[in-house]
């Protein structure tokens, strides 16, 4: 009908001045002047009504409401649960939450937008508005309302909102991908970022493939999200056009495909691998760095789609980030390989075999980035069948630290090979480092070991001391006086490194390490020392070294390098050795007695000596003081746990004086002369015996069984306790 034939009438006519487009009426039975009822009017406007009886649970939907839900009359049985076929679960929960809130608040109405899944699977927006009726007591009993299609109403706002959400999603995606790759220093780090649980999601995909070009061939180096293991036919190929990743490398142009079928049609070689590829869209992007194609990235999605121009530009931008990260990582790997080779050439290629013992070393470079350190170890053959053991650490984690380490190691080895004492070796090494053109300092522990006697002469320069584990798994960290780090000691004029003598009993193991084994970021080093003490177990030396490396260094992923040296003294022929502690005290060392007391307390606590500990400690103090005061030599202290019942602790203090002890009877006001009287009163048995170039005073203490509260018997004159000929021991 045109405007010329339109009936004249008064009032507003929306057709006036317009040329409406002709359309086919979908309700042809409706006549021009036929009266239209309310339900028909609502239905024509994609609306319907419902009446919900809360007491019976029945909900009546008119034909318009059924049309909104895309239901036929025979598909709805009057129960609200029947709508679940059209209302997704999450939308239903949102509707229930809105109604529950209205009921809780006592409201008389509620409204909510939700989506309905139509018969063909498409989702469309719907709106419901309900009036809640209450009875005389205020309880709700009925809801009467309407439902209407709201797709057109929400189209503009939903489109705007979806675009905003998409921009936000893309921004977050770029931020997450850039942040994750910024921390990747090596090619292995880059592949770890791409292959982790969020790898493909960072690029807005469900799966990905990453490959690099190496000497004219293409190799896939990481995958994520694909169904099953990628076959070799897809991971290795020539750079040609038979596979999408190698094709984009050759053409330098990206490829975007909408479905898996389109992908296989373009690259028939993939047909045999179709089951493992996602069914949706895919993108294959060349990785270009400094105008060179170094590889390509494949992104796969589960849902088919045609990528928009904005999505394609985002994918290309992310591919550029990956390319730059890979190029940077390749340079890092090259530098790290050079530094690692430099460091490896400066460490011993092997360790010499030693008579009477086993020796195992472990070294691991830093596990993060290109950092290398100055940790080193060395095993040095010395004159008279002795062995020098060295573990040290040069300050810093770079090639300069490795270079300084190499020079210092060679210098220290030369000084030790000349047969100098440990203190002299460290003094000379400190002066050597101070004269180098470097500001680096170094920590170090040097041990001169004689496995025939078990004597260990130890000097320490700001480094961890040794750990000793005996055959019964008693762990001890002897107190070793030390000096300043090498280099600093000379600069500050304190290049003095006291020498301490220890003894390694047959069947015992000595451990030297750098702080990379016991120090973790954010933790106190004492916690690492405790963990190391707990981890040392009786085992084959190779097994123990591997366990310590795996448990304390490799598993936590330490960022520091680590050097570990284990020396085991083989047990000699004959019966098994008994637990023993041997310490040497210099004659001019005023702190030696206190250090022995501390070592005794730790050892006796491990032996569960109980109340006897105090008696042994007092007796040891008196005998040591006598040796240091009345002789011109130091003292050798030996404490041994003897087997049998009851258990016995034997204490010996040996000196090099040939003068035999003399009994004294001090007066009431005398300030000395009571030491051996105390020993006599505290020990169960005691005596003196010659020892080659000197003598030894000894005493024994019975160790009561656990829970035995009986006081120790006074057995100073017990039968069988030998005494020095002619008089009681005393000075």
Taking only the tens place, the pLDDT of each residue in 613-634 is 999 999 999 898 888 888 888 8
Per-residue pLDDT of 481-503, as tens digits, reads 899 999 999 999 998 998 888 88
Can you list the positions of beta strands (E) in 193-332?
A: 207-214, 217-224, 236-238, 255-257, 282-289, 292-300
Asked if the model's pLDDT at residue 671 lies above 70, the reply is: no
Q: How confident is the model at residue 519 (pLDDT cuts 50, 70, 90)?
A: confident
Dmax over Cα atoms in the chain, in whole Å? Answer: 153
The string of DSSP codes covering 493-553 is T-----EEEEE--TT-EEEEE-GGGT--TTS-HHHHHHHHHHH--S--HHHHHHHHIIIII
- Tell me, letter by letter, the H, E, C secondary structure of 258-276: CCHHHHHHHCHHHHHHHHH
Per-residue pLDDT of 261-300, as tens digits, reads 999 999 999 988 888 889 999 999 999 988 889 999 999 9
Residue with tokens 């030369």: 414
Could you tell me the two tokens for 436?
């180098």
- CA dist 522 and 379 (Å) reads 33
Please give the DSSP secondary-structure letter assigned to residue 33.
T
Quick count: other Cβ atoms within 10 Å of Cβ 598? 13
Q: What is the pLDDT at residue 730?
A: 41
Rounded mean pLDDT, 346-353: 80
Dihedral of CA 303/307/313/316: which sign? positive
Note the pTM of the prediction, 2 decimals. Answer: 0.55
* C-alpha distances in Å from residue 330, one per residue of 183, 187, 245, 333: 14, 6, 20, 5
pLDDT more than 70, % of the chain: 83
Q: Helix-strand-coil percent breakdown of the chain, rounded to 5?
A: 35, 25, 40
CB 381 within 8 Å of CB 387: yes
How big is the chain by its Cα radius of gyration, in Å?
A: 44
Quick count: other Cβ atoms within 10 Å of Cβ 135? 10
Q: What is the pLDDT at residue 166?
A: 61
| CA nearest to 306, candidates 287, 337, 329, 281 | 281
Q: What is the pLDDT at residue 23?
A: 55
* C-alpha distances in Å from residue 333, one per residue of 190, 327, 373: 12, 10, 16
- CA dist 372 and 296 (Å) reads 31
Asked if the model's pLDDT at residue 727 lies above 80, the reply is: no
CB 175 within 8 Å of CB 88: no
Q: Angle, nearest 10°, between helix axes 541-548 and 525-535?
A: 150
CB 419 within 8 Å of CB 359: no
Q: What is the pLDDT at residue 731?
A: 38
Q: Which of 160-174, 385-399, 417-431, 517-531 has the lowest mean pLDDT?
A: 160-174
Q: What is the pLDDT at residue 445?
A: 97
- CA dist 697 and 621 (Å) reads 12
124: left (phi over 0), alpha (psi -120 to 50) or beta: beta
How many helices (H) and strands (E) are present in the chain, helices listed first? 17, 26
Average pLDDT, the chain: 82
> Across the strands, what pairs with 134?
140
Q: How confident is the model at residue 413 (pLDDT cuts 50, 70, 90)?
A: very high
645-649 contacts at long range (C-beta below 8 A, 24 or more positions apart): 646/702, 646/703, 646/704, 646/705, 647/702, 647/703, 648/684, 648/700, 648/701, 648/702, 648/703, 649/604, 649/607, 649/609, 649/612, 649/616, 649/700, 649/701, 649/703
Dihedral of CA 128/133/139/141: which sign? negative
| CA nearest to 197, candidates 170, 179, 224, 230 | 224
Rounded mean pLDDT, 93-116: 88
Asked if the model's pLDDT at residue 726 lies above 60, the reply is: no
């Amino acid at each position: 009908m045109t405007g010329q034939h339109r009936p004249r009438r008064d009032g507003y006519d929306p057709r006036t001045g317009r040329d409406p487009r002709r359309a086919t009426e979908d309700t042809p039975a409706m006549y021009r002047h036929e009266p239209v009822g309310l339900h028909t009017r609502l239905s024509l406007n994609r609306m319907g009504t419902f009446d919900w009886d809360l007491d019976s649970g029945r909900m009546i939907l008119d034909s318009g409401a059924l049309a909104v839900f895309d239901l036929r009359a025979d598909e709805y049985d009057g129960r609200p649960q029947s709508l679940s076929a059209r209302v997704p679960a999450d939308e239903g929960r949102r509707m229930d939450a809105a109604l529950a809130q209205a009921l809780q608040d006592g409201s008389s109405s509620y409204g909510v937008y939700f989506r309905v899944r139509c018969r063909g699977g498409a989702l469309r927006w719907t709106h419901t508005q309900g009036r809640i009726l209450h009875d005389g007591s205020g309880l709700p009993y009925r809801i009467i309302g309407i439902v209407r299609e709201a797709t057109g109403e929400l189209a503009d706002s939903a489109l705007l909102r979806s675009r905003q959400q998409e921009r936000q999603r893309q921004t977050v995606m770029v931020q997450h991908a850039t942040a994750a790759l910024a921390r990747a220093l090596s090619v292995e780090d880059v592949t770890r970022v791409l292959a982790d649980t969020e790898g493909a999601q960072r690029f807005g995909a469900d799966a990905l493939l990453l490959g690099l070009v190496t000497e004219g061939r293409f190799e896939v180096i990481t995958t994520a999200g694909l169904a099953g293991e990628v076959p070799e036919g897809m991971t290795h190929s020539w750079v040609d056009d038979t596979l999408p990743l190698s094709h984009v490398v050759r053409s330098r142009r990206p490829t975007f495909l909408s479905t898996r079928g389109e992908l296989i049609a373009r690259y028939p070689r993939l047909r045999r691998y179709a089951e493992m590829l996602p069914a949706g869209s895919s993108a294959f992007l060349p990785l270009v760095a400094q105008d060179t194609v170094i590889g390509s990235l494949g992104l796969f999605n589960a849902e088919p789609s045609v990528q928009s121009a904005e999505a394609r530009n985002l994918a290309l931008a992310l591919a550029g980030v990956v390319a730059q990260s890979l190029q940077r990582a390749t340079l890092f790997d090259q530098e790290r390989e050079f530094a690692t080779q430099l460091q490896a050439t400066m460490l011993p290629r092997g360790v010499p075999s030693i008579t009477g013992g086993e020796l195992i070393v472990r070294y691991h470079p830093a596990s993060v980035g290109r950092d290398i350190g100055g940790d080193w170890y060395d095993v040095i053959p010395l004159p008279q069948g002795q062995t020098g053991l060295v573990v040290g650490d040069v300050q810093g984690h770079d090639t300069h630290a490795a270079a300084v380490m190499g020079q210092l190691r060679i210098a220290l080895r030369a000084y030790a090979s000349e047969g100098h004492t440990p203190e002299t070796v460290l003094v000379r090494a400190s002066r050597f480092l101070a004269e180098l053109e470097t500001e680096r300092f170094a920590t170090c522990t040097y041990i001169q070991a004689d496995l025939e006697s078990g004597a260990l002469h130890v000097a320490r320069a700001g480094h961890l001391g040794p750990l000793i584990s005996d055959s019964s798994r008693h762990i001890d960290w002897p107190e070793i006086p030390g000096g300043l780090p090498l280099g600093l000691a000379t600069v500050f004029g304190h290049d003095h490194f006291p020498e301490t003598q220890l003894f390694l009993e047959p069947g015992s193991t000595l451990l030297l390490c750098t702080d990379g084994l016991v120090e973790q970021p954010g933790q106190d080093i004492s916690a690492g020392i405790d963990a190391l003490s707990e981890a040392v177990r009786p085992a084959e030396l190779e097994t123990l070294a591997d366990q310590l490396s795996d448990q304390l260094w490799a598993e936590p992923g330490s960022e520091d390098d680590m050097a570990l040296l284990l020396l085991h003294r083989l047990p000699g022929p004959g019966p098994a050795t008994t637990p023993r502690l041997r310490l040497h005290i210099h004659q001019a060392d005023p702190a030696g007695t206190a250090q022995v007391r501390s070592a005794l307390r730790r050892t006796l606590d491990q032996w569960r000596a109980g109340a006897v500990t105090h008696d042994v400690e007092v007796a040891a103090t008196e005998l040591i003081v006598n040796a240091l005061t009345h002789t011109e030599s130091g003292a050798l202290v030996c404490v041994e746990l003897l087997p049998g019942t009851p258990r016995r602790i034997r204490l010996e203090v040996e000196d090099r004086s040939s003068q035999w002890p003399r009994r004294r009877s001090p007066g009431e006001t005398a300030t000395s002369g009571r030491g051996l009287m105390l020993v006599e009163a505290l020990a169960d048995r005691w005596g003196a015996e010659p020892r080659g170039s000197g003598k030894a005073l000894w005493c024994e203490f019975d160790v009561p069984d656990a829970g035995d509260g009986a006081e120790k018997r006074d057995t100073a004159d017990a039968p069988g306790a030998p005494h020095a000929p002619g008089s009681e021991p005393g000075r």
